[in-house]
């Protein structure tokens, strides 16, 4: 049974500014990707110095979820880094679609936070 | 629900579960977004069956067929993704619906 989809956003200080840490829990697909897009477009994310999107508790994501993330990267004025568990379904989706260069992803929150200053506001300099 | 059910069946058959889930999700999303975008409701059927050496999954809808949709919520990647993760895929589209037949090696 798939988990109910949940989103939380927490602000945390990082490098002299505040970073929005958005955590998604559950499947991201046609039924839920709009909610993820809306969260990433929220005032909290828009006004932050950077966004870290935690996808480690997303057991499944399809192209609608990927689109929500990539559109957000284009629309945000601040950098976005994703936390993606190696070997996960999200990691596999990024590999299969070859969008790695557009989506900076890291295995841990610490690495994602540390990488934010190096990432352009539209996702250049993708992670691992 | 459909995705989880077919993933469970794929696991039992020895087919690549994650690829099957992704392909089914993309095919069902395509049916919803493209097949039924100008009407309320319709039917989407999902069938999974084993054949010698493979798992055949068919997603069929009674929508308007495959037509371009400029406001698609995907990346235009649905068909490409299905093609990449399945061993073989066939699309049949008419004005009375679309059928996507996907084979996965077992």
Taking 60 as the threshold, does the pLDDT of residue A126 lie above it? no
- pLDDT attached to residue B106: 95
Which one of B6, B10, B75, B79 makes the best mutation probe of the A interface by having the most chain A beta carbons within 10 Å? B75
Q: How far is A1 from chain B (nearest CA, A)?
A: 7
- pLDDT attached to residue B1: 72
Contact call for residues B66 and B30 (beta carbons, < 8 A): yes
| Reduced 3-state DSSP string for A14-74 | ECCEEEEEEEEECCECCCCHHHHHHHHCCHHHHCCCEEEEEEEECCCECHHHHHHHHHHHH
Q: Which of B25, B73, B81 sits opposite A97 (nearest CB)?
A: B81
Read off the pLDDT of each residue in B21-47 and give the average, rounded to a whole number. Answer: 88
User: Are A60 and B84 in contact (CB < 8 Å)?
Assistant: no
Enumerate the residues of chain B whose CB falls inside 8 A of the CB of residue A64: 29, 73-74
DSSP per residue, B42-74: --EEEEEEEETTEEEEEEEE-SS-----TT-SS
Strands across the sheet with B88-94, in order?
Answer: B44-51, B54-61, B97-105, B88-94
Average pLDDT for chain A: 92
Q: Which of B18, B77, B84 sits opposite A89 (nearest CB)?
A: B18
Read off the pLDDT of each residue in A88-115 and give the average, rounded to a whole number. Answer: 96
* Nearest CA among A49, A103, A33, A12 for reference residue B29: A33
Enumerate the residues of chain A whose CB falls inside 8 A of the CB of residue B26: 62-63
pLDDT in tens, B72-106: 665 678 889 999 999 999 999 888 899 999 999 99
> Model's pTM, two decimal places?
0.89
Give the percent of chain A with pLDDT over 90: 84
User: Distance between CA B16 and CA B5 in Å, rounded?
Assistant: 14
- In this structure, how many other beta carbons lie within 10 angstroms of the beta carbon of residue A125? 12
Q: How far is A96 from chain B (nearest CA, A)?
A: 7
Q: How far is A99 from chain B (nearest CA, A)?
A: 11
User: Are A1 and B4 in contact (CB < 8 Å)?
Assistant: yes
- pLDDT attached to residue B74: 59
ipTM: 0.86
Q: Model confidence at A23, in pLDDT bands (50, 70, 90)?
A: very high
Residue A122 in 3-state DSSP?
A: coil
Q: Which of A30, A93, A96 sits opposite B32 (nearest CB)?
A: A30
- pLDDT attached to residue A122: 64
User: Are B75 and A66 in contact (CB < 8 Å)?
Assistant: yes
pLDDT in tens, A54-84: 999 999 999 999 999 999 999 999 999 999 9
């Amino acid at each position: 049974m798939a988990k109910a989809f949940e989103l939380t956003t927490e602000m945390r200080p990082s490098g002299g500014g505040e970073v929005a840490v958005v955590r998604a829990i559950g499947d991201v697909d046609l039924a839920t990707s709009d909610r993820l897009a809306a969260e990433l477009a929220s005032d909290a994310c828009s006004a932050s110095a950077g966004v870290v999107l935690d996808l480690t508790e997303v057991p499944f994501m399809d192209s609608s979820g990927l689109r929500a993330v990539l559109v957000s990267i284009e629309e945000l004025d601040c950098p976005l880094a994703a936390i993606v568990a190696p070997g996960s379904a999200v990691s596999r989706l990024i590999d299969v679609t070859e969008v790695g260069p557009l989506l900076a992803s890291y295995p841990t929150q610490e690495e994602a936070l540390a990488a934010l200053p190096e990432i352009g506001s539209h996702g250049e300099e993708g992670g691992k | 629900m459909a995705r989880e059910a077919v993933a469970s069946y794929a696991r039992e058959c020895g087919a690549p579960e994650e690829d099957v889930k992704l392909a089914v999700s993309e095919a069902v999303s395509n049916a919803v977004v493209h097949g039924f975008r100008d009407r309320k409701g319709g039917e989407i059927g999902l069938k999974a069956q084993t054949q010698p050496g493979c798992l055949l999954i068919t997603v069929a809808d009674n929508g308007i067929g495959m037509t371009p949709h400029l406001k698609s919520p995907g990346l235009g990647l649905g068909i490409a993704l299905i093609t990449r993760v399945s061993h073989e895929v066939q699309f049949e589209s008419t004005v009375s619906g679309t059928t996507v037949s996907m084979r996965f090696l077992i």
